């Protein structure tokens, strides 16, 4: 059997013959409770039995999955929203995004809806960019991020009218390279935008956007 230990540092070298991948795994749950629940989120606490037989408590926020949309025009400018986010007391630059708030809702259908409502545009070309858990040590929420191109504006009379924070959003078009630059100097910190912009940048430099999986 080949020794795959790192020659100088702790751990093993990845096997080049096996694709890197997450894997499903579920440790036994001895008991479970739900100390907090609203129409938006709920918190459950599990007493988990580990591999060594010990038990410990882990809490998680149950939250609907979400979609994010990197909408890009012909000059590689991204549609961004300047939106106030009360929990962090900042107006963040973010891509259009939203929850899968209907049980069993198709992520692409949700993405089309959010781009229409928040960005006031429609897209003819949709690509599957990346999937990610937003914070797997804390919440069940999972993101799916799409690249949307071949954009057309929604007629002004048909545009969605937002409420609360959405009523105060500003739409900004920024070049992809500028967004990436500002991520690296620390001026952009929204997780969806960081992940989506860097994924777009990587896709461009690998095989191009057309090589991404069609949505």
Residues identified as active-site: 166
With a CB cutoff of 8 Å and minimum separation 6, the contacts of 110 are 67, 98, 99, 100, 102
With a CB cutoff of 8 Å and minimum separation 6, the contacts of 2 are none
Tokens of 6: 């790192």
Q: Taking phi first (over 0 means left), then psi (-120 to 50 degrees means alpha), and beta for anything else, what does residue 104 get?
A: left
Q: In whole angstroms, what is the distance from residue 60 CA to residue 99 CA?
A: 18
Among residues 175, 184, 182, 176, the alpha carbon closest in space to that of 202 is found at 176
Q: In whole angstroms, what is the distance from residue 180 CA to residue 70 CA?
A: 13
């Amino acid at each position: 059997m080949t020794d795959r230990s790192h020659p100088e540092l702790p751990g093993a070298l990845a096997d080049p013959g096996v694709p890197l991948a997450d894997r499903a795994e579920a440790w036994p749950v001895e008991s479970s409770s739900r100390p907090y629940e609203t129409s938006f989120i709920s918190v459950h606490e599990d007493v988990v039995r580990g591999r060594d037989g010990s038990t410990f408590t882990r809490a998680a926020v149950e939250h609907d999955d979400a979609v994010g949309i990197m909408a890009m025009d012909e000059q590689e400018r991204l549609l961004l929203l300047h939106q106030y986010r009360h929990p962090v007391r900042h107006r963040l630059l973010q891509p259009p995004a939203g929850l899968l708030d209907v049980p069993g809702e198709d992520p692409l259908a949700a993405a089309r809806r959010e781009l229409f409502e928040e960005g006031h545009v429609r897209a003819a070309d949709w690509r599957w960019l990346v999937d990610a858990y937003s914070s797997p040590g804390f919440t069940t929420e999972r993101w799916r991020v799409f690249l949307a191109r071949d954009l057309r504006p929604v007629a002004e009379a048909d545009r969605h009218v937002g409420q609360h924070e959405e009523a105060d959003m500003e739409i900004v078009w920024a070049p992809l390279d500028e967004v990436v630059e500002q991520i690296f100097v620390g001026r952009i910190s929204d997780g969806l935008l960081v992940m989506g912009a860097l994924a777009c940048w990587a896709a461009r430099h690998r095989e191009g956007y057309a090589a991404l999986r069609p949505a």
